[in-house]
Amino acid sequence: MYAEVDPVHEAVNSAFRDALDDIAVVREKVVDREKINGDFESKIYIVAHSEGTVVSWKSLQLAAVEKDPPAWLGEVKGLVTLGSPIDKHHLIWGQQNFPLDVPTVQRDKIDWWNLWDYSDPVGHSLDGIFGDGRAAENNQFRRVLDRGYARYPIPGKAHVDYWKDINLYHVIIQEVMGIPAGYDAKQRKVTNRWWGNWTAMRTGDFLAYGLARGAEVVALLYFLSRLLNPIRQTVVRKWPSVAEWLDKAKTWPLPSSVPISHYLNMALWTLGIAWIWKLAWDNKWSSRKQDENLNLEQQLRWEQVAMFLWGAVLVYASINIQAPHGELKDYLGWATGLVTVALIWKLHTAVHKGLVQLWRYGKGGTQFSPKPTPADRAQAVGGQHA
């Protein structure tokens, strides 16, 4: 709603502004009560999480473009964002509500520390705003630190685990505010080294994806083989030569002398072709076409062609799986099961290509691989992920 509904957008930004105005009022009361002399310097550090990071970023931009910026704006010395989805707002909604920068250079730029965990499907880097430079600046902000790490092993739950991580508080107090907090290099390491290894995390993603897809294919073949059983019986009875051609799937590529070769061949026909297509699309063809600015409509068209061909393979394999005769009610039940599995397949596809892609493999709409460099390992906050 904040991203798309203007009244909500404006009301939330106004609430942020009111909070900062209130800080200024309280400050004046404290200065007056304590009779602090003119050497007093007010410093404001904003720590925001999730959608609050977007609100903070946008509201600070709005304050900077006012004809008479509020007095508190110059007192904001640091912005700390945890699990920020700013990259997704910029990617999905563009610059109409979320411009990358303010039009003029600000006299006092705000230092920005951005932290996120690789298991957090929401948080990511600020490269969409600043570009790829590690020490990049724009007209209002100076990116001091923008690092991902691998501290929280439970996907999704990682988005709220920042608030329970005492080391992050130490980082904010000591590294951001400059107040000694006992933070040392030992706290930068991940307790669970296996989880902090990017290769292990990526392998786990593919295994989970493959196992789920495999279960869905088995269910599809189960229901299809029963629905297509009458066709199989008709083909065998009327066209023996066609039946012989269909039976070749049972003995290729593995010969019938191999134990359970029939089922292994069906697995190779279905899962094998699906995985070959996925690997070719994800690793080679897709990345090359993305460089050629392949638009979404063209991409969907090619995926539809691939799914049609693979659907034909599923039908061919299903006809070669022997199934008992059934009554009409049985076929209706199997058809219902087939529809259910198809819907699960579609949901799984949407989640994998949407949430998981943004979670692990995309930032600002581009591909990336978070293998840390030596500089990353030296500067990484909260974890060592190599």
Write down the pLDDT at residue 60: 95
Full DSSP string of 154-191: STTGGGTGGGG-HHHHHIIIIIIT-------GGGGS-S
- Choose the weakest-confidence range: 35-39, 74-78, 301-305: 35-39
pLDDT, mean over the chain: 77
Distances (CA, A) of 221 to 80, 256, 269, 378: 51, 20, 12, 51
Residue among 130, 160, 136 at smallest CA distance from 57: 130
The band of 15, judged by pLDDT with boundaries at 50, 70 and 90, is very high
Rounded Cα–Cα distance for residues 356 and 280 (Å): 19
Distance CA 236, CA 31 (A): 94
Residues sharing a CB contact under 8 Å with residue 337, sequence separation 6 or more, in sequence order: 219, 222, 223
pLDDT at 76: 92
pLDDT level of residue 300 (50, 70, 90 thresholds): low
Q: Give the per-residue pLDDT at 360.
A: 53
Axis crossing angle, helix 198-227 with helix 296-319, rounded to the nearest 10: 50
Amino acid 259: pLDDT = 78
CATH assignment of 6-188?
3.40.50
pLDDT value at 367 more than 50: no
| 303 C-beta neighbours (distance < 10 Å), count | 15
**Lowest-confidence segment of 66-80, 86-100, 352-366 by average pLDDT:** 352-366
Q: Which whole number is the average pLDDT over 186-211?
A: 67
Between 58-62, 198-202, 261-265, the lowest mean confidence (pLDDT) is in 198-202
pLDDT in tens, 317-347: 888 777 777 777 888 888 898 899 888 888 8
Query: Has residue 110 got a pLDDT over 90?
Result: yes
Q: Residue 369 has what pLDDT?
A: 41
Give the pLDDT score at 356: 63
pLDDT-derived band at 129, boundaries 50, 70, 90:
confident
Among candidate residues 6, 4, 16, the one with its CA nearest the CA of residue 53 = 16
Confidence of residue 206 (pLDDT cuts 50, 70, 90): confident
Q: What is residue 285's predicted lDDT score, i.e. its pLDDT?
A: 54
pLDDT at residue 239 above 70?
Answer: yes
Measuring CA to CA, which residue among 67, 47, 66 is closest to residue 57?
A: 47
Rounded to an integer, what distance in angstroms lies between the CA atom of residue 156 and that of residue 134?
27
Mean pLDDT, range 199-213, rounded to an integer: 79
Out of 63-77, 88-102, 135-149, give the one with best mean pLDDT: 63-77
Q: What is the per-residue pLDDT for 124? A: 86
Backbone angles phi, psi at 288, to 5 degrees: -70, -40
Verdict on whether the full-model pTM lies above 0.75 = no
Predicted confidence at residue 282, as pLDDT, reads 61
Res 50: pLDDT: 93
Q: Residues of CATH 3.40.50 domain(s) within the chain?
A: 6-188
Per-residue model confidence as pLDDT tens digits over 281-294: 665 555 444 444 44
127 band by pLDDT with thresholds 50, 70 and 90: confident
Instruction: Name which of 110, 49, 59, 58 is nearest 82 in CA terms.
Output: 49
pLDDT top residue among 225 and 192: 225
Interval 354-374 mean pLDDT: 48
Question: What pLDDT is stored for residue 283 in this prediction?
Answer: 57
Report the C-alpha gap between 242 and 342 in whole angstroms.
29
Q: Provide the sign of the torsion angle of the four alpha carbons 122, 134, 69, 80, taken in this order.
A: positive
